[in-house]
Amino acid sequence: MVTGILGRKIGMTQLFGDDGAIMPATVIKAGPCVVVQRKTVERDGYAAVQLGLVDDAPANANRPISGHYRKANVPPTRIRREVGVDGDGPAEGEQVVASVFAGGDRVDVVGVSRGKGFQGVMKRHGFGGGRATHGSMFHRAPGSIGASSYPSRVIKGMRGPGRMGGDRVTTRNLEVLRVDAEQHVLVVKGAVPGAPGGVVVIRKAVAAKPVPAPAPEASAKKRK
C-alpha cells in the first residue's frame, strides 16, 4: 500500500468542530497520481514507488523522460516524487487517489516554504536591533561578528543577512479532517508549508502522536 500522495495546496479555510470550536484547516488537491516506476529491495535496495501528479498543464518531456513514462504506459507528468510503500505497492500504471487516507489519520506534509528574498538579521533570525531614538546610529545592523585579534576571522555558522525562505519544510502530525476522493480533495487541520498552488507531498505520519482526549472537567463545564 502507498503511504503518500502528491498534491497542490489550494488555500486555508476554517471548519467547526462538534463542540462548536473553530479549527484552522488547509485544503489540498491531492492527486490523482499515477505510478511511474516501482523500486524494489532486490533491484534498488529499498521499496518505494515514483508517483507522477496528473495536472491540467501538459508536460514538456524530452525523449529520455518520454521513454521513462512509456515503460509504465502512462502520459508524462510535470511533477514526480517518490513515496514509500507498506507491503505490496501498486503496479506501474495504476492510479493513486486521495482515498489512501481517511478522516482522523495523522499525516506529515512536505513542501517548499515561501521565498522572501534577501533579508536582514532582524527578520531572518529575530535579532532585537538597536535603539530607535536619542541619536542612535545603530538600528537594524547585526553588530560585531568576531574579534580582530583572535581568531581574526568570522566563525563558520555566524548568523547574518541572506536569502530567506524557499526551503524544504515538513509539518508533522496534522489531522485529516475530511476526504473527498471524487473531487481529489483533502482537508487537514492547521497550516502546511508553501504558497497556494505549491506542490506538497502528503504522507502517513512517521511518528504519529495519539489524539489527546478532552479533560473530564472541561467536558463537565461545557455540559453546564
Set out the domains of the chain in order of their start, with CATH numbers. 4-114+168-223 (2.40.30.10), 116-164 (no CATH)
DSSP H helix total and E strand total for the chain: 4, 12
> In this model, does residue 215 exceed pLDDT 80?
no
Q: What angle do CA 84, 85, 89 make, to 5 degrees?
A: 135
What's the pLDDT at 97?
87
Amino acid letter, residue 79: I
Contact residues for 10 (Cβ-Cβ < 8 A; gap 6+): 26, 27, 28, 29, 185, 196
Task: Note the pLDDT tens digit of each residue in 74-112.
Answer: 888 888 888 888 877 788 888 888 888 888 889 999 999
Residue 221 backbone dihedrals phi, psi, to 5 degrees? -65, -40
Please tell me the least confidently modeled range out of 41-45, 138-142, 156-160: 41-45
Greater confidence (152 vs 59) lies with: 152
N residues, the chain: 224
Burial annotation 122-155 (CB, 10 A radius, 16+ → b, else e): eebeebeeeeeeeeeeeeeebeeeeeeeeeeeee
Q: Across the chain, what does the average pLDDT equal?
A: 87
Eight-class DSSP state of 56: S
Q: How confident is the model at residue 113 (pLDDT cuts 50, 70, 90)?
A: very high
Q: Is 3 exposed, middle or buried (0-12, 13-18, 19+ CB in 10 A)?
A: buried
E strands present in 150-190: 162-164, 168-180, 185-189
Q: Which grid coordinates are listed for 223? A: 455540559
- The C-alpha cell at 111 is 513542501
pLDDT at 123 (0 to 100): 95
pTM: 0.78
Q: Looking at the predicted structure, is the pLDDT value of residue 120 above 90? A: yes
User: Does the pLDDT at position 221 exceed 60?
Assistant: no
The answer on pLDDT for 158 being more than 90 is yes
